[in-house]
Chain A
Amino acid sequence: MTNQMTIHQTHELLKTRQLSSVELTQAYLERIRQVEPQVHALVTVTDELALEQARQADKLIASGNISPLAGIPVVIKDNMCTRGIKTTCSSKMLTNFVPPYNATVVEKLNKCGAVVVGKANMDEFAMGSSTENSALFTTHNPWDLSRVPGGSSGGSAAAVAAGETIYALGSDTGGSIRQPAGFCSVTGLKPTYGRVSRYGLVAFASSLDQIGPMTQDVTDCALVMNAIAGHDRWDSTSLPYPIPDYTRCLTTDIKGLRLGIPREYFVEGMQAEVATAIKAAVSKLAELGAKVDWEVSLPHTRYALAVYYIIAPSEASANLARYDGVKYGYSYQEAHSMWEAMEKTRQYGFGPEVKRRIMLGTYALSAGYYDAYYLKAQKVRTIIRQEFDRAFEKYDALITPTSPTVPFKIGEKTDDPLQMYLSDVCTLPINIAGVPAISIPAGFANGLPIGMQIIGKPLGEETLLKIAYAYEQATEWHKRKPEI
């Protein structure tokens, strides 16, 4: 075996007993020990738990009960609660937090016999686009260690790309699955808002957050969706609709599918190689039989950045009010009063970007500014959603670059928050509308990955997977692996 096997390939080996889960898990733990000193993707390596789960999985497999995920290593982003295992959100605030319960997605993976090998680094509280906002350390891109892996699910993406795990879970509030998937040349899906339960996901912006798979190919993405999607009574925003078998849409027949290319996503300042690669990828889809309209316009796209950076920080400022140093997490103990304790706890527990967003959100929600900022942003959010609704009357999917550039250098954008925010300009509108989108490998520029984003209508995941699968089967990008 190599450390580049997919879920479906590994599953065959486990099912036919050519390999045990314990052997597989040991090999991945060894790979982690080998590359982690350079990549820094993981906050916690859960070796003991992983080997115990692998032994259980081997029993499960022997008994004939074989979920496609049974016995297969997975890495979980460190903002999803894992019972008895530290869940830090890469924040000083939660460095020692050990959840007493599992997130629903973790519970679901456990039921499938999954093997958790580690918890992934991220931007603190998922606020960022590079993992540089992690209070613990920065993750390095396996394709070029001097560059960022993207964020906020940068640890998850880098771990998959570097072969430290077979797949990972990420979360996406404004691009946090898709942008790092694009930067690390892996497949990342942000499902429709409400498709995957958020119970046990540490809240950032509740109307935008969504959990999704980060995998080595589209088939694996469908397999993970089969395991994690569906209604959950513990999440009141979870959609109460049945889930399909996502592997059934994986055919290469995309004849007649209508694809729209919104011109606003080929933004000013976009790297030329990125635009060229995405246009070539769309031409490939046309060759495969899709009908492409190159002249689509979604004129309000230009307001999405402002809408997002008002709504997400506003929701964050409310969600993060719970960190008061009383119930769990970091707590300043030297204070002389309750208010001082609370203020100092938050001063020392939160990093600069989290503070910036709490301040921005508190301002946007405060008396006198609520209408001009928060309410205004919510109204423009309606217009952006309606533009997507209208587009999906004419097109089955929209195609854009995942990011305007290839991965940037570590340190390149840390001094200018707005420049950093702009690296999510192609992914933010999707969360605002609540629709699903996938990023898949679509080329390289000077050895650095380029991602293609395919956007679908609400609950249109199957159409996205079908288009992604057809493209993947006709290309080789997803098979390239970094030399590390």
Chain B
Amino acid sequence: MKLSREEVRHIALLARLGLTEAEVDRLEEQLSNILENFEVLQQVDTSNVPPTSQSIALQNIVSDDKVAPSLSQEQVLANAPRKEGDFFRVQAVLEN
């Protein structure tokens, strides 16, 4: 599977990952090489095989809907790069 530069840029956009031109070059080559090695999976017959998303048999774990002690607003905001009062401050989401 050979990836094009455009595909690398498109994936980076989906991942919201900024890349330099040099990184795009390197990833184009490395990802192509890695994906080519993964072609080997196409040899395995998986018709009628269900997928495994996790290895244990637990499902639908629920807990009681009860109020319990939690972090204070101050603790939650303590690591915020930018805050204003009791809020995280972010760039404008909607622009004109």
Contacts and interface: CB of A to CB of B under 8 A. Distances in A.
Interface in B24-66: 27, 30-31, 33-35, 37-38, 40-42, 44, 46, 49-56, 58, 61, 63
A356 B34 CA distance: 10
Contacts of A237: 54, 56, 58, 61
A261 B23 CA distance: 43
9 contacts: A97-B79, A98-B78, A194-B58, A331-B81, A339-B16, A358-B17, A359-B31, A360-B34, A362-B11
Interface string A304-324: 011101100000010001001
Given A307-B41, A327-B80, 13 more contacts: A193-B56, A321-B15, A321-B16, A326-B88, A333-B81, A337-B92, A339-B16, A343-B18, A347-B19, A352-B23, A358-B15, A418-B34, A434-B55
B67 interface: no
B21 to A, nearest CB: 12
Contacts of A356: 27, 30-31
A356 B49 CA distance: 30
B17 A346 contact: yes
A344 B50 contact: no
B31 A381 contact: no
B29 to A, nearest CB: 11
Contacts of A329: 79, 81
A366 B11 contact: yes
A355 B31 contact: no
B93 A383 contact: no
Interface of B: 3, 7-8, 11-12, 14-20, 23, 27, 30-31, 33-35, 37-38, 40-42, 44, 46, 49-56, 58, 61, 63, 71, 75-76, 78-82, 88, 90-93, 95
A458 B58 CA distance: 14
A174 B35 CA distance: 19
A347 B18 contact: yes
B75 A100 contact: yes
Contacts of A482: none
A306 B12 CA distance: 22
B79 A360 contact: no
A389 B82 CA distance: 51
B91 to A, nearest CB: 4
Contacts of A350: 17
A475 interface: no
A227 interface: no
Nearest to A193: B55
A376 B17 contact: no
A338 B92 contact: yes
A378 B71 CA distance: 37
B14 A362 contact: yes
Given A303-B44, A346-B18, A347-B18, A381 B27 contact: no
A457 B34 CA distance: 31
Contacts of A390: none
A379 B79 contact: no
Nearest to B51: A378
A100 to B, nearest CB: 4
A321 B16 CA distance: 9
Contacts of A339: 16
A352 B8 CA distance: 15
A100 B92 CA distance: 28
Given A341-B91, A343-B18, A359-B8, A100 B44 contact: no
Interface string A351-369: 0100110111011001000
**A333, A343, A344, most chain B CB atoms within 10 A:** A343
A196 B14 CA distance: 34
A372 B51 CA distance: 13
A342 interface: yes
A373 interface: yes
Given A194-B56, A307-B41, A381-B52, A362 B91 contact: no
Interface string A71-87: 00000000000000000
A352 B25 CA distance: 13
Contact of A359 (B11, B58, B82): B11
Nearest to A366: B14
